[in-house]
Structure 1
Amino acid sequence: MAFRRVLRASVPQSRLQAVGKEVAERYGESLESIESLEADNWLSVPCVVNERWFVKVIAGQHTLVHGLLTTGRNIGAFSSGTEGFFEHFSTPLEMAEHELESTRRMRELGVEAPEPLEAFEHDGLGVLVLEYLPSFRTLEEVSEAQLETLTPDLFENLSRMHAAGIAHGDLRAENVLVAPKDGEETLYFIDATRVDDDAIEDAKAYDIACALASLAPLVGAADAVAAAADYYSPEELLSARNFLDFVNLRPDHDFDAAQVKGVIEKTAT
């Protein structure tokens, strides 16, 4: 926990206020409020400006932490029998611009994500402005009945991204939000990271493994793998199996890797 506190960067309130003022002025308003959100986020300081815009403020230390995490993930990928495919960012602005573009690409495919508005630099900080979802829950907070519907939806959206050559790269329960849209509970994908476009097959297998790791504790390994099998071939599921031990080492996943492996092997054969 102490290590996490060291890694998690903060931005002084005065600089956050200045960013909030800049965001509001860009949309013809004055700054009325800026609220920092409580989040287990090492890569930005998330805020809400004027209760209208979701803003990620990215400092130089966030870029450094991303580089450290990227190195660790690539070592994990090597341990899974493949070359590393995670890529780092050089500057806070580059991080903001990448997420803006990734979010736009997802929405173009029909995958729901908060509307991306703009990315810019302010006083050395990267600033990403997105649509604010005032009412949302994570996958861990929805009912079992809702998960029965949302689990296939997750794999449908993920397979749509993969078919277009896009990988999420950081799929976990906290990065899949559930929010109302047109009277229905809808999945919104956030926080995609950068992966090597030439390694999309490995990145796809890693995404599937992360999705199974997130869902298995919620719906059970059998139901999670069955939902994935509706959209991925046995060969693709077996490729995902190779990443499960690596995914299980991450502090943001807690699941029975051996059980998920066993269900994949039974399903694939």
Structure 2
Amino acid sequence: MDIRQLARGTVPWDRLERVATILARRYDRDAVRVEFLAADNWLSIPCIVDDEWFVKIVTKQHTRVHALLTAGRNAGALSSGSGGFFTRFETPLAMVEHEYEATQRMREIGCNAPEPIEAFEANGLGVLVLEYLPAFESVDDLDATRVRALAPELFATLATMHDNGLAHGDLRAENLLVADGDLYFIDATKVLPDRQAAARAYDLACALAILEPRVGVRSAVAAASEQYAAEDLLDARDFLDFVRLRPDHRFDSTRLRSELEKWAALSEG
């Protein structure tokens, strides 16, 4: 068996059918059409319901995988000279409730995110229902010209989140979607309330890591500097080695660190 399949575990078909039945009842429909996505997702079973809702089904196994990832990320944060700031979920319901609340909060402060419909428990499974964006691309799918055009919006949105006491905690290209020309943030994870400063620096480092290989180091840092002060750029620098260890980020940490230090020195001078 593929280790990823083993880690994610499986859900008996009758339990998934029960979730579909519950969704139909909750939305006053005789039945719903469910399309399960062939996504390599470690933390939920994603599906589209009636081409209207994007639904995540979370099992206890998904919370165990999240706990393992959280432990690894906290170890990485320690290696960067910061204490760990990620936190785990005890139950599938807690996991989907957090994403519902984080998504709702992002929308309240003016950030683009899919509309959260509800989060509930069904037979021990956590179920999150979100607005379905029918035509979207991830930033991973865009060419360099389009990514460069979106860079100011990326950092402006991130700064809005940070200025309002939020941190994303899992910023990567797959969690940045473009629909109808707008940039949407999804899949925010949970961070400790008293470690927001470190989490925000980590977010900024992740955003720079997304952009550097696509638009170049100077363009990435210049876009970030429109929203963030020199001290913020230097705080992000301290997380670059940690971010580079993540399999979903491939960038030149040495060049990025050098450019951040140069830009900070010029700003302070």
Mapped pair 1:188 → 2:190: no
Structure 1 counterpart of 2:44, which letter? S
Q: Does the residue aligned with 2:244 lie in a helix, a strand or coil? A: helix
Structure 2 counterpart of 1:79, which letter? S
Q: Does the residue aligned with 1:177 lie in a helix, a strand or coil? A: strand
Normalised by the length of structure 1, the TM-score is 0.95
Mapped pair 1:214 → 2:210: yes
Mapped pair 1:71 → 2:71: yes
Q: Does the residue aligned with 1:188 lie in a helix, a strand or coil? A: strand
Count of residues in correspondence between the two structures: 265
The residue aligned with 1:118 is 118
Whole-angstrom distance in 1 between the partners of 2:208 and 2:255: 11
Contact kept, 8 Å, 1:31 with 1:49, in 2: the verdict is no
Whole-angstrom distance in 1 between the partners of 2:65 and 2:145: 38
Deviation, 1:33, is 1.3
Q: Does the residue aligned with 1:254 lie in a helix, a strand or coil? A: coil
Gaps of 5+ in 1: none
Deviation, 1:11, is 2.3
**Aligned with 1:204 (options 189, 194, 200):** 200
Whole-angstrom distance in 2 between the partners of 1:259 and 1:4: 33
Whole-angstrom distance in 2 between the partners of 1:258 and 1:232: 20
The residue aligned with 1:258 is 254
Whole-angstrom distance in 1 between the partners of 2:173 and 2:143: 14
* Range with bigger deviation, 166-175 or 219-228: 219-228
Contact kept, 8 Å, 2:147 with 2:211, in 1: the verdict is no
Whole-angstrom distance in 2 between the partners of 1:194 and 1:124: 21
Contact kept, 8 Å, 1:34 with 1:50, in 2: the verdict is yes
Runs of 4+ in 1 over 4 A off after TM superposition: none
The residue aligned with 1:23 is 23
Q: Does the residue aligned with 2:111 lie in a helix, a strand or coil? A: coil
Deviation, 1:2, is 4.6
Whole-angstrom distance in 2 between the partners of 1:173 and 1:121: 29
Whole-angstrom distance in 2 between the partners of 1:2 and 1:158: 36
Q: In 2 relative to 1, CA 217–8 (structure 1 residues): closer, same or farther, beyond 3 Å?
A: farther
Whole-angstrom distance in 2 between the partners of 1:87 and 1:72: 11
Whole-angstrom distance in 2 between the partners of 1:19 and 1:118: 14
* Range with bigger deviation, 51-60 or 138-147: 138-147
Per-residue CA shift, 1:181-210, capped at 9, x if unaligned? xxxx00111000000111111000000011
Whole-angstrom distance in 2 between the partners of 1:95 and 1:17: 21
Whole-angstrom distance in 1 between the partners of 2:39 and 2:230: 36
Gaps of 5+ in 2: none
Contact kept, 8 Å, 1:37 with 1:47, in 2: the verdict is yes
Whole-angstrom distance in 2 between the partners of 1:40 and 1:254: 18
Normalised by the length of structure 2, the TM-score is 0.95
Whole-angstrom distance in 1 between the partners of 2:171 and 2:232: 17
The residue aligned with 1:54 is 54
Whole-angstrom distance in 1 between the partners of 2:121 and 2:244: 36
What do you get for the CA RMSD once the two structures are aligned? 1.3
Contact kept, 8 Å, 2:9 with 2:61, in 1: the verdict is yes
Structure 2 counterpart of 1:75, which letter? A
Whole-angstrom distance in 1 between the partners of 2:2 and 2:38: 17
The residue aligned with 1:170 is 170
Percentage of identical aligned residues: 56
Deviation, 1:24, is 2.3
Per-residue CA shift, 1:154-206, capped at 9, x if unaligned? 000000000001000000000010011xxxx0011100000011111100000
